[in-house]
Amino acid sequence: MNAKQAAGYKAAEWVQEGMLVGLGTGSTAYYVIERIGQRVAEGLKIQAIATSKASEELAEKYRIPLIKAADVSKLDLAIDGADEVDPALALIKGGGGALLREKLVAINSDKFIVIADPGKLVPHLGAFKLPIEIVPFCYDWTLVQLKSRYNIEFQMRTRDGGLYVTDNGNYIVDASFGVIKDPGALDTELKQLTGVVDHGLFVNIADVVVIGHEDGTTEII
Ligand code: 5RP
């Protein structure tokens, strides 16, 4: 067992019969989907919503019944990874490009559990570049706004020689803010920029963080 698997398998214990569950995205979320899939094979009855096409395919592989968001008003539980976690449980997410669906699922769940290895715990957010999802239309203008407001370095995310396109058809800018002193303030400001769809700051959303260790043990924050 590795640290990500320990965290994912521990968080899967929160899933109870009949729940509506949000499935995260990434290499740690992989393990929670795997473990839930094992429990479904043993008879657990749940329904789930995936936060990316990749996680949807994984859930289908494990025969986890999937529903559409339109069919339910909210979820009981969402479990997802993170790129950084600060002491107040504010997060940077979106390293895997799924931040918008991840945030939608997290804020519409009664409980949001974050799963991570110890390397994700940081005193301040910001060493990890903050992913910002922007609309493709006139995206250069959005970059100009970001540059003029914050004077930071950023890169358009790429894949296979072209611009990275999210599951929602948008682009991602990875922005180097350095130490983010006030994640709540930056969260609000970025949301106000026209052209920005959402960003990877998750402030006051996480309820619990499960940290997995290489020896298979876990701790709950
Ligand atoms: C995807 C995410 C992931 O949860 C985050 O990048 C962590 O991924 P991993 O568990 O592979 O380290 O936000 O958009």
- The pair of structure tokens assigned to 173 is 């800018």
CA pair distance 47, 204, nearest whole angstrom = 26
pLDDT tens per residue, the chain (221 residues)? Answer: 799 999 999 999 999 999 999 999 999 999 999 999 999 999 999 999 999 999 999 999 999 999 988 889 999 999 999 999 999 999 999 999 999 999 999 999 999 999 999 999 999 999 999 999 999 999 999 999 999 999 999 999 999 999 999 999 999 999 999 999 999 999 999 999 999 999 999 999 999 999 999 999 999 99
3-state helix, strand, coil in the chain (%, to 5): 30, 30, 40
CA pair distance 115, 112, nearest whole angstrom = 10
Residues with Cβ within 8 Å of 127's Cβ and at least 6 positions away in sequence, in order, are 84, 178, 179
Pairing relationship of beta strands 158-159 and 162-163 according to DSSP bridges? antiparallel
Q: Which of 28, 105, 159 to mutate to test the pocket of ligand 1 (most atoms within 8 A of CB)?
A: 28
Is 42 assigned a catalytic role?
Answer: no
Q: Say what the pLDDT of residue 69 is.
A: 84
Burial code of 65-92, b = ≥16 C-beta within 10 A, e = fewer? Answer: eeeeeeeeeebbbbbbbbbbbbeebbbb
Pairing relationship of beta strands 20-23 and 75-80 according to DSSP bridges? parallel
- The answer to whether the annotation marks 119 as part of a ligand binding site is no
Q: 11 by DSSP, 3-state: which?
A: helix
Q: Say what the pLDDT of residue 148 is.
A: 96
Q: Say what the pLDDT of residue 70 is.
A: 83
Q: Say what the pLDDT of residue 25 is.
A: 98
Pairing relationship of beta strands 91-92 and 201-202 according to DSSP bridges? antiparallel
Q: Say what the pLDDT of residue 141 is.
A: 98
Q: Say what the pLDDT of residue 216 is.
A: 97
Amino acid sitting at position 29: A
The pTM of this model reads: 0.97
ipTM over 0.90: yes
Map 73-96 to HEC letters.
CCEEEEEECCCEECCCCCEECCCC
Q: Please state the φ and ψ torsions of residue 37, each to the nearest 5 degrees.
A: -60, -40
Closest of 131, 136, 119 to residue 94, by C-alpha: 131
Atom of ligand 1 nearest to the CA of 93: 13
**146 Cα to the center of ligand 1, angstroms:** 24
CA pair distance 104, 107, nearest whole angstrom = 6
